[in-house]
């Protein structure tokens, strides 16, 4: 009935929020590490940040913001029982995820090609703070990239469920939870982008 939350739906929502909290703790720990080392090596972090391509980082920010809009619209479309639109919007979100990973691949390849990766001779010869910066950069963006892939796989599975009518206007909690996870992935990148690409 309208205005009432089914007990199973409440449990699913609560479970998702608890899971998202653990994810925030994970990335919160990484951001805390960043803050500690940034205070110790502000100049080296600034030097490291200048070696990152902010245009690629900015492009990925735009891609993820677009993907978040798509998945939010997909939830609304499902509530209105517009199934073809839902499939198109979920497809758009997954396409954005693929685009994000392609940009990240190009970016990582360029860095590795220039000998900039954890444990490289280039970083061993650089000031210690710079090595810390890039170690944190690769760790944080790597873990975030894994979350992007998991999110895309989750949304693909949900799209199959929508297509099979297992997820519908009457039972949309799975897509809503998938969208929540995707919004978290987007939110985390909103913090990563300025911390690494725009560090002064």
Listed by start position, the domains of the chain span: 7-197
Residue 145 pLDDT greater than 70, yes or no: yes
CA 107 to each of CA 53, 59, 156: distance values in angstroms, whole numbers, following the listed order: 8, 12, 26
**What was the pLDDT predicted at 4?**
45
- Domain 7-197 in this protein, CATH class: mainly alpha
**What was the pLDDT predicted at 9?**
74
Say if residues 63 and 100 touch (Cβ distance below 8 Å): yes
CA distance linking residue 130 with residue 40, whole number of Å: 11
Residue 88 makes CB contacts below 8 A (sequence gap 6+) with: none
pLDDT in tens, 35-92: 999 999 999 999 999 999 999 999 999 999 999 999 999 999 999 999 999 999 999 9
Say if residues 75 and 179 touch (Cβ distance below 8 Å): yes
Helical axes 128-163 vs 7-40, angle rounded to 10°: 160
Nearest CA to 97 among 195, 27, 178?
178
**What was the pLDDT predicted at 153?**
97
Q: Indicate the pTM of the whole model.
A: 0.91
Residue 113 pLDDT greater than 70, yes or no: yes
User: Which residues pair with residue 129 across a beta bridge?
Assistant: none
End-to-end CA distance of the chain: 54
**What was the pLDDT predicted at 8?**
67
């Amino acid at each position: 009935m309208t205005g009432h939350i089914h007990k199973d739906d409440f449990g699913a929502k609560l479970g998702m929020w608890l899971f998202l909290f653990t994810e925030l703790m994970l990335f919160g720990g990484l951001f805390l590490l960043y803050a500690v080392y940034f205070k110790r090596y502000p100049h080296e972090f600034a030097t490291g940040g200048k070696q990152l391509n902010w245009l690629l980082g900015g492009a990925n920010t735009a891609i993820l913001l677009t993907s978040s809009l798509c998945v939010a619209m997909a939830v609304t479309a499902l509530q209105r029982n517009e199934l073809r639109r839902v499939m198109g919007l979920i497809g758009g979100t997954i396409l954005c995820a693929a685009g994000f990973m392609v940009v990240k691949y190009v970016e990582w390849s360029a860095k590795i090609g220039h000998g900039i990766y954890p444990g490289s001779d280039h970083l061993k010869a650089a000031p210690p703070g710079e090595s810390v910066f890039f170690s944190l950069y690769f760790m944080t963006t790597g873990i975030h990239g894994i979350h992007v892939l998991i999110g895309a796989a989750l949304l693909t599975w949900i799209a199959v469920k929508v297509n099979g009518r297992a997820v519908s206007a009457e039972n949309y909690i799975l897509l809503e939870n998938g969208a929540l996870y995707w919004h978290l992935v987007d939110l985390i990148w909103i913090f990563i982008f300025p911390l690494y690409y725009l560090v002064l």
